[in-house]
Every structure is written in structure tokens, then in C-alpha cells.
């Protein structure tokens, strides 16, 4: 359980970090390290250089600007949970982050790290997709913005190029009257979800006008479920129909804890909980 050898470089600023990243394809960004260090300790990865961006203070800020809540990549989960602005604009984030690992890990784990790592079982990528977040990437040619919906390409695969660094995530504060939902089923508190759901409903005179569902722990990336959303706009919730429709939407991937059918079952249960809570 000891990491292989690597070089360590503490970046002075963003330009410095991008320079090193550009010069070495095997260099890896070290943010909070709460996913990276276990993989190093287990020798599942062996980067040439770790570029530590932990001392770049501009990446540690939470701001409200132009109707966006902006999280710097190096904001820790604990910092976000304790931020007044976040708790006012997106109270659901506090509930969601309380399910991300444990206090000692949330003190170190970062927002940008979780979004950039793209673990399909993680909560934050699904949340970013649900609320239409914009992901800011910085590279040698400057900044570009990628919509969270376009960001996740496959298992741990994202739109980040090898010479780019994720610098912040922008959440549109105006969610058009959508009510948000989060729940997950885990075997142990703080463990990865067997299946999880972030969802939203917009109602007009108690009639559902729009429904969005994004699942995590179910496939190779955050999974949207457009057919199920459409079904729910026209029909009452019904477990077996929802489970069937979900199977049309999502290619449920089994893992060590549950079969793909089990994942579909849990997802259908979660949709039921959401319809009950938000209706």
C-alpha cells in the first residue's frame, strides 16, 4: 500500500501549472487527492509528476457573479457546506455533500477534483448535469467553457484536454422555479451509492410541467433519463413501468455490490421517493 515514486511540483500559479501540464502528458493534477492518493497507494496509477495546485489561492473562492454561483476548483466540500451563499442558493448541496465520504475526507476533497475525476458513482457530476452547470477549463490558449451535459464522455472520461486544468464550476442560480431532489441508496453511510438520483420538477398549478432525472452509480457516467421524464409527465408513478422505462433510458452497469437489474430496481424506487417528495 505504498505509492510508486513520482516527481512533485508545487505550482506557483495557474499559468505555471498549465506550463508543466503542457510539457508532460503523464503529469497529473493533484487537487485534494482524496481519490488520487488511494489509487496511488494501491498502485492503480503511476503518474510521472504530480502538479499540486493546492497553493493557488484564486482557485479557493466561492463567488456570486452575473447570476451564477461560482465554485473555485480548490474549494473543499467542507468549505462549501459551511458557505452561507451556497446554503441560500442551493440548500440541496449541503444535503448532497453530507453523503460524500466523511468529515476528514470532505475537509480535503475538492469540488473541482470531484467534477474533473468524473467518477460515475459520485454525486457532484450528476448534480452539475442536472442544474446545467458550466465547467471552466484553462489551457495554454486561455479559457473555454463546457456545459456539464457535454462534459462527461465515458467511464472517467471528460472533455478536459491533456494540457487543460479545470478551474471553476458555474451554477446558474435561476433554476426557473424547479424544485430539486437528492437521494441515494448506499450500503454504508458515506460509501459510494449503489444507485443515486438528483432530480427536479417544475410545476404550474400543481401540474408537472417539466421533470429532469440524473442518476449516478448506474452506468459509465451521470445518466439522464429523458424517456422516463416524458412518461412521468403523462402518467402517474408506477414502479414496474418506471423500471422498464428506465431500462430503455439507461444501460445499467452491474458492479461488485449489485446487478444491473438491482440498479434499475433501486433507481425506480428513488424516482418514487422523488415524486412523493416533490408533488
> By the criterion CB under 8 A, which residues form the site for other proteins?
1-10, 20, 23-24, 30, 33-34, 37-38, 40-42, 49-50, 52, 54, 78, 98, 101-105, 107-108, 188-190
Smallest distance, other proteins to C-beta of residue 24, A: 7
Smallest distance, other proteins to C-beta of residue 164, A: 19
Identity of the residue, 91 or 190, whose beta carbon is nearer to other proteins in the bound complex: 190
Identity of the residue, 188 or 234, whose beta carbon is nearer to other proteins in the bound complex: 188
Smallest distance, other proteins to C-beta of residue 59, A: 15
Identity of the residue, 116 or 131, whose beta carbon is nearer to other proteins in the bound complex: 116
Smallest distance, other proteins to C-beta of residue 255, A: 17
Identity of the residue, 49 or 131, whose beta carbon is nearer to other proteins in the bound complex: 49
Q: Are 206 and 179 contacting, i.e. CB atoms less than 8 angstroms apart? A: no
Smallest distance, other proteins to C-beta of residue 189, A: 4
Identity of the residue, 23 or 57, whose beta carbon is nearer to other proteins in the bound complex: 23
Amino acid at each position: 500500500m505504498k505509492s510508486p515514486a513520482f516527481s512533485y511540483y508545487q505550482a506557483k500559479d495557474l499559468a505555471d501549472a498549465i506550463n508543466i501540464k503542457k510539457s508532460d502528458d503523464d503529469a497529473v493534477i493533484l487537487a485534494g487527492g482524496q481519490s488520487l492518493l488511494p489509487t496511488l497507494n494501491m498502485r492503480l496509477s503511476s503518474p510521472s509528476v504530480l502538479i499540486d495546485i493546492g497553493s493557488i489561492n484564486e482557485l479557493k473562492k466561492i463567488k456570486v457573479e452575473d447570476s451564477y454561483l461560482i465554485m473555485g476548483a480548490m474549494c473543499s466540500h467542507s468549505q462549501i457546506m459551511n458557505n452561507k451563499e451556497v446554503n441560500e442558493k442551493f440548500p440541496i448541496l449541503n444535503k448532497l455533500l453530507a453523503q460524500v465520504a466523511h468529515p476528514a475526507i470532505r475537509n480535503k476533497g475538492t469540488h473541482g477534483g470531484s467534477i474533473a475525476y468524473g467518477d460515475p458513482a459520485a454525486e457532484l457530476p450528476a448534480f452539475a448535469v442536472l442544474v446545467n452547470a458550466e465547467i471552466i477549463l484553462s489551457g495554454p490558449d486561455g479559457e473555454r467553457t463546457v456545459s456539464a451535459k457535454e462534459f462527461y464522455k465515458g467511464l472517467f472520461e471528460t472533455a478536459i484536454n491533456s494540457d487543460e486544468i479545470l478551474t471553476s464550476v458555474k451554477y446558474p442560480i435561476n433554476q426557473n422555479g424547479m424544485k430539486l431532489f437528492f437521494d441515494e441508496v448506499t450500503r454504508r453511510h458515506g460509501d459510494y451509492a449503489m444507485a443515486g438520483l438528483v432530480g427536479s420538477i417544475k410545476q404550474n398549478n400543481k401540474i408537472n410541467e417539466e421533470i429532469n432525472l440524473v442518476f449516478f452509480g448506474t452506468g459509465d457516467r451521470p445518466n439522464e433519463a429523458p424517456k422516463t421524464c416524458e412518461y412521468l409527465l403523462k402518467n402517474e408513478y408506477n414502479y414496474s413501468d418506471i423500471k422498464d422505462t428506465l431500462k430503455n433510458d439507461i444501460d445499467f452497469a452491474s458492479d461488485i455490490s449489485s446487478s444491473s437489474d438491482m440498479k434499475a430496481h433501486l433507481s425506480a424506487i428513488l424516482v418514487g421517493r422523488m415524486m412523493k417528495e416533490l408533488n
